[in-house]
Amino acid sequence: MGKRIAYLGPAGTYSEQAAREWIEKAILIPVESIPAVANAVSSGIADEGIVPIENSIEGGVTFTLDLLIHDSELSICGEVIVPIHQCLMAHNKIDLADIKNVISHPQSLGQCRDFLTSKLPGAELTASLSNSSAVQEMMAASLETAAISSRRAAVLYGATILLENVEDRSNNETRFVVLSHRDHEPTGNDKTSLCFEYGGNAPGILSGSLREFASRDINLTKIESRPNKKSLGRYVFLVDVEGHRTEDLVAESLDALNNQVSMMKILGSYPSAQRK
């Protein structure tokens, strides 16, 4: 029996594509939201779950970041990078000037912002829970409604593609992370994700903490922040560093950082994705 992978469905999403790339012959379980992916793993319905965490145009996926910080004890055990090529689709062939509404996931609408502004300036934009849901909603709406989604979703739900590659940057990519009850053993080509926050504020407090990594020649591959949801102007910092948490220098850095912060959570160590 294959491994069970939960993903943001329905079929045809980029999350489904990422799940197929992670394990080709997995049993795929579509669920309705990013928190539902984590719940499926926590409850035992799925062995692993895959969720988008950042896009090269729109940045961090806040639903996933907040889930990892506040609402889940699952670990990241892997990552997959998927090239994203968005298609504009409708029921049938239609002039762009006749489109009154465009439905898509908020991240996809953001990835196509320049296209929408220049080519469909009068169209109303409607957010959907996923790209595939957007196509289903579009097919149930008026003929003047369009959707932005994947080519696979258009085929699955019988939509007509009007234009391909409508994303604003041709190198559009989304990074997905795989959630499990434990992270990955060392491979020699790993990264570690963590988050932390401070109990107070002082000049240089963040740069001082990050020197714990730099002084040990450990490279940071990402840093960003999210509100801590407790007080305005207070943030949780999310960092990716090269190396596995069990490596001596990485472990030393994490111990030193832990002594400087009020909260630190290691989200997992896992192999770095290889771009195809």
Give the domains, in start order, of the chain with CATH numbers: 4-83+172-180 (3.40.190.10), 87-164 (3.40.190.10), 190-271 (3.30.70.260)
pLDDT values of the chain reduced to their tens digit, one per residue, 276 residues:
689 999 999 999 999 999 999 998 899 999 999 999 999 999 999 999 999 999 998 899 999 999 999 999 999 999 999 999 999 999 999 999 999 999 999 999 999 999 999 999 999 999 998 999 999 999 999 999 999 999 999 999 999 999 999 999 989 999 999 999 999 999 999 999 999 999 888 888 999 999 999 999 999 999 999 999 998 889 999 999 999 999 999 999 999 999 999 999 999 999 999 765
Annotated catalytic, 174? yes
Selecting among 63, 174, 196, 213, the annotated active-site residue is 174
| pTM, to two decimals | 0.87
Kindly give the interhelix angle for 248-258 and 205-214, rounded to the nearest 10 degrees: 160
Rg (CA), the chain: 20
Distance CA 116, CA 114 (A): 5
Contact assessment for residue 142 and residue 234, using Cβ atoms and an 8 Å cutoff: no
Selecting among 63, 176, 213, 237, the annotated active-site residue is 176
Of 241, 183, 244, nearest in space to 212 by CA: 241
Residues 6+ apart with CB under 8 A from 168: 57, 111, 112, 113, 114, 115
Annotated catalytic, 176? yes
The CA-atom distances, in angstroms, between 228 and each of 14, 70, 231 are: 29, 9, 7
Distance CA 195, CA 73 (A): 13
